[in-house]
Chain A
């Protein structure tokens, strides 16, 4: 097989890296146009012109922007994200813990959400236009339409305050026993699941329904396969590319878009970390987090592309 596939994959990855570089320029430019500068933010109300000048000198803020950009990029490529200006801590170290927490939450939310969404999608197709289909679609769409914070507060109200099954706050820490950790993330993971469920479910349903119109599905039906077997063996494999795409998009959302849920459940992830440092104008941290988010987004998209290629027999077996 597959020099064409390898070539395609290599192309995608190269494109991704190029895109990431372009984004790094954007992030850098974006942080430069934020109002106020870091020196002023650090000194705050007590800033005097003299101490401002000293601090700017010390932080190298007087160099031209492109010099600082390449300096920063060089650091990133060698794994050195710099130190946070506000607290003086090493960024890479602090991000590691936070990123792990975010991935942990996203992982468990995904483990629940993806199979659930796809199964519900399959069921909806099987009973399409019946009341089961309408119920599933209705509930999923409703849960997606509510803002995240509303779902979050509802969950807290019932599960934490009224029935006291799960804790209201999801503070996790190093060395926390696995069981406790799972209990702590139960509510935020549920909230995230509800938020991403409908998108994936509806996409699965639409993609499979599309395939169901094909002649070979009719053939399968005519040869007497049960409805679920038709969907599982013939329709689903052919609908997998768009499903993977939407799953990856939602995965990316679970990692980079969970600020609100993190705040509500007091979960120490990347989103909260980013917000804290944006308000402090801690540019190195903002840049680092921005870049990591971009990298996650791009790599998940590359994976989606590649999976779609691999799942397509016409690309797998070219003439």
Chain B
């Protein structure tokens, strides 16, 4: 290895050179990309985590109406702060595997109906008590209770009994589910003393930071928890702070001015400008989130599969990806799964084909215009995307009429109510979760009204299947069904675009959620 390369890799590790520039120069020196990447990560590791300092994040997605009760977490700020003070039963690692946290081991019976969680020894709550099996069981019980209004309630309903005995928690399910450990990684399921039944918003768990300030909609702060059980892996900064900055320009300015070390949701249209700012690194990464146009399969005129197919063929995905997302995303293929999911299989990419669209449109017998409702809040750039859709469809002879709805009330009055509108999905951690949430006949959020008994059977069968190869095939078949007969038009998957300031190190891209699945504050460190 040339001295120059070594020097460069150290510079990247210390944040003086961007990764992209490094790879460029490495290529110039005749080094292949994989080798250069390996070199880089070893340099970063050699530098090692630095303890100390205050890490600050300026995030969109906090309101003065937020609460510390994990059951009520919905937006980005409570989510990211929750990952700082909360400890989970099990978590998804950045490479998509399961990482045991409070559960030391998770095992199931052969039929995937009975699950046993073995609770780790010596994990301590912030109030000094030791985490017991009873605490874990109580947490799960609270989130299974309708009264908690928990965001995880939908999955938790599938658990029939929860029993704590000794160091184990035993769960029996109503129906077999091979994905249970993934469901337990839901961000709402923060383990609290006695499950938070006494005081749900006390903000006490066993995470790397102890809650010090909690001013909803303004800022949240934490101080390193001295007795955190894996202090070598997380909790590097002495203090962390989340400042709520809902305005995109203010967020960027705060990063540039150095008031915060990281921000979330950089708008695709300004990414290229921000990249040029010295010290700032853009952290973009593919995830399961996607932008969609949804048709109700049971409402005229969308109850006709030819019309649905015509509209799916009449959308120019490539154009939308470059113009709306500026390339920070990937093409969608009309089923809600991409490579961010385990057991994903490729299916032939659907392309813009005005002639075929015309053919299906004629066959559907529909006449007149199709009304598409859209709004700025449906997804960033939704109105522009809808206009692009209108134009590309016009070339296929399909007239789309746009109705711009007010953002206020869009999710109550339009989404999941009107037969054709723009929307988005954040994605889930497993295919089963995604399909169960929005494609089962009985799902409350079946926003395409895709009600197919044969599909329901496939979902349940795949859920109980423990053989991976067979499961993979099942998910492939389900994807084909949704793609060719469903009401979903999915032009693109979006990326998470975060940005960090100078001196922030330890960043690892995580496909599950923005900000390293919320762990950026807990896992990153400031260079000395």
Contact = CB atoms under 8 A, between A and B. Distances in A.
Interface of A: 35-36, 40-41, 43-46, 48, 51, 84, 86-88, 94, 153, 156-157, 160-161, 164, 167-169, 171, 173, 263-266, 268, 272-273, 276-277, 279-280, 282
Contact of B249 (A88, A153, A167): A153
A44 B65 CA distance: 14
Contact of B65 (A84, A160, A264): A84
* 7 closest residue pairs by CB, A with B: A86-B65, A168-B253, A268-B218, A168-B257, A160-B257, A276-B63, A276-B64
Interface in B358-383: none
A277 B408 CA distance: 12
A25 B316 CA distance: 53
A46 B71 CA distance: 14
B166 interface: no
B217 A272 contact: yes
Contact of A88 (B64, B67, B243): B67
Interface range for B: 35 or more
A280 B63 contact: yes
B254 A169 contact: yes
Contact of B64 (A160, A263, A277): A277
28 contacts: A35-B413, A36-B409, A45-B411, A46-B149, A46-B153, A84-B65, A87-B65, A94-B64, A153-B249, A164-B257, A167-B259, A168-B254, A168-B256, A168-B257, A169-B243, A169-B250, A169-B253, A169-B260, A173-B213, A173-B219, A263-B247, A265-B250, A266-B243, A266-B244, A266-B245, A266-B246, A268-B218, A273-B64
B449 to A, nearest CB: 15
B416 A45 contact: yes
Interface string B416-453: 10000000000000000000000000001100000000
Contacts of A46: 149, 153, 444
A184 B258 CA distance: 14
B66 interface: yes
A35 B260 CA distance: 38
Nearest to B407: A279
Given A45-B444, A46-B149, A169-B260, 8 more contacts: A44-B411, A167-B259, A168-B254, A169-B250, A171-B218, A171-B243, A173-B218, A282-B65
Interface string B286-308: 00000000000000000000000
A87 B67 contact: yes
Contacts of A266: 243-247, 250, 254
Nearest to A161: B256
B412 interface: yes
B250 A156 contact: yes
Most interface-central of B64, B149, B213 (chain A CB within 10 A): B64
Interface string B236-255: 00000001111101100110
Contacts of B250: 156, 168-169, 263-266
Given A167-B257, A168-B253, A280-B65, A264 B218 contact: no
A262 to B, nearest CB: 10
Contacts of A164: 257-258
A169 B67 contact: no
Interface in B56-88: 58, 63-67
Interface of B: 58, 63-67, 146, 149, 153, 213, 215-219, 243-247, 249-250, 253-254, 256-260, 408-409, 411-413, 415-416, 444-445
Given A264-B247, A266-B250, A277-B65, A36 B219 contact: no
Nearest to A35: B409
A62 to B, nearest CB: 20
Nearest to B66: A87
Nearest to A51: B146
A167 B413 CA distance: 40
Q: Which of B66, B149, B253 has the most CB of A within 10 A?
A: B253
Contacts of A40: 412
Contacts of A160: 253-254, 256-257
A276 B218 CA distance: 12
Nearest to A273: B64
B409 A268 contact: no
A36 B410 CA distance: 11
Contacts of A88: 67
A265 B245 CA distance: 9
A40 B413 CA distance: 11
Given A84-B65, A282-B65, A264 B243 contact: no
B412 A36 contact: yes
A153 to B, nearest CB: 6
A40 B411 CA distance: 11
B412 A44 contact: yes
Nearest to A46: B444
A84 B65 CA distance: 8
B374 to A, nearest CB: 19
B442 to A, nearest CB: 13
A132 to B, nearest CB: 35
Nearest to B415: A45
A87 B217 CA distance: 11
Contacts of A171: 218-219, 243
Q: Which of the listed residues A86, A266, A280 has the most CB atoms from chain B within 10 Å of its own CB? A: A266
A274 B213 CA distance: 22
User: A51, A157, A272: which has the most chain B beta carbons within 10 Å?
Assistant: A272
Contacts of B243: 169, 171, 266
A46 B153 CA distance: 10
